[in-house]
Amino acid sequence: MRTLADWLEYIGQVHPVGWDLGLDRVSRVAERLGVCHPANLVVLAAGTNGKGSYCEALNHLALNAGLTVGLTTSPHIQHFSERIRIQGRPVDDEVIVDAFNQIEAARAEITLTYFEFSSLAALVVFQAADLDLAILEVGLGGRLDAMNVVTPDVSVILPIAMDHEHYLGSTREAIGLEKAGILRERVPAIIADPDPPQSVLNELKKLDVPNLQLGRDFGWDDERLWWTSSADQMEAQIGKPRLPSISLAAAMQTSAMLYWPPAPEGLLDLTLVGRQYWVQYGDRTLLMDVAHNPHAIARLSRTLRAWSNLHPTSKVEGVFGVYRDKALTEMLQALGGAVTFFHCSQVDEARALPGAEIVKTLHANGLQSAASYPSFTEALAAALGHTASSDLVVVFGSFPVVGESLNYLGIHPFD
């Protein structure tokens, strides 16, 4: 009998292409499994940045309202089961293995990618759990993403920025059109982009989608959270949150749209592993962030500068790694000198850019204080040895960068 580790190795080999966007194969298997609407209510979320924070916030609000909730996000940071959670906890490995067995039997002659297997597994698990709500995060894009096989009751589009241009297009308008692929005719939508591309607005009109938009119907201004409920505007003086305020405001608006009691308590201190996630390790302070595109890096830079303003005699050193297909130069420009020294390496994936190449790009952009290491454990160890307890070590880049660093520190937030 296959273990979860066996399955994960197997599903990475079934389909000849790792990333093969399209719904033809996965939708046929989803229909065979009967999982296209895996809960009483289904919320489907797309966007470039802020999806994970939105999903976490909506999960928090729904649990506080007494709902039974399934949440699926990707990728995971430390363990695959993080991708499939019920009532806030990752499901057992055995539950995922059973789902993979069902998918394998249903797919027959149809090949599926790793992500397609993963997406279907979440839907199978949620279908069996008889949930009030399933919160589903789109992995890449929207229109052709495997999670788009579902029939949502609410579609949500978070901020759109440049990322994955090879797959989604080279402009925000093109990327916006891909994200808008999760919209359904006359199905309500939440648009949580402060400046939505015209391509998204056009699709809303074309499909006659009733929608609520950031800045018009809901938002979070300074310390004031506001939203629309039954055509009335409501608000709460709540303070400044740890997670992106746009994501939290969109979650609050979603809960109001679905007529849950407005209960913003707890949003202010909500955290999410890997999203500007503060870690105390002995007398050392670390900030971990999966920021891997210029838009996300700009937000990280603001946080680092705010920290430096409070600690003017301390320094910020980075442990950094990124995939080859990322806009590294633009990311460094968005960082804007907030990091004083870079410790670079690459995770054990073919997509990873070697640490030496990252250092070369840093030098080309006038950032001479950098070194490369054979592994992230060595890079992190070097950063900790190169700094004092009053300094900040920021670990950022791709998801595995944060995952490997947490493993090295012996920190397992989901346990």
Looking at the fold, whether 332 and 392 belong to one and the same domain comes out as: yes
Q: Which of 224, 257, 290 is at the close of a domain? A: 257
Looking at the fold, whether 116 and 215 belong to one and the same domain comes out as: yes
Q: Residue 326 — pLDDT band, cuts 50, 70, 90?
A: confident
Count up the domains in the chain and report the number: 2
pLDDT at 163: 58
Looking at the fold, whether 247 and 105 belong to one and the same domain comes out as: yes
Looking at the fold, whether 253 and 346 belong to one and the same domain comes out as: no
CATH of the domain at 92: 3.40.1190.10
What pLDDT, in 10s, does the model give residues 131-169?
999 999 998 777 889 999 999 999 999 998 765 556 566
Has residue 415 been placed in a domain? no
Looking at the fold, whether 222 and 320 belong to one and the same domain comes out as: no
Looking at the fold, whether 284 and 229 belong to one and the same domain comes out as: no
Average pLDDT over residues 280-293: 95
pLDDT at 130 over 70: yes
Residues of the domain holding 322: 277-409
| pTM exceeds 0.85, yes or no | yes
Looking at the fold, whether 284 and 173 belong to one and the same domain comes out as: no
Q: Which of 201, 227, 257 is at the close of a domain? A: 257
Has residue 74 been placed in a domain? yes
Has residue 162 been placed in a domain? yes
Has residue 265 been placed in a domain? no
Looking at the fold, whether 29 and 73 belong to one and the same domain comes out as: yes
What pLDDT, in 10s, does the model give residues 83-105?
999 999 999 999 999 999 999 99
Tell me which residue of 210, 22, 219 sits closest to 116, measured CA to CA: 22
Looking at the fold, whether 328 and 180 belong to one and the same domain comes out as: no
Has residue 267 been placed in a domain? no
What pLDDT, in 10s, does the model give residues 197-249?
999 999 999 999 999 999 999 999 988 999 999 888 999 988 889 999 999 99
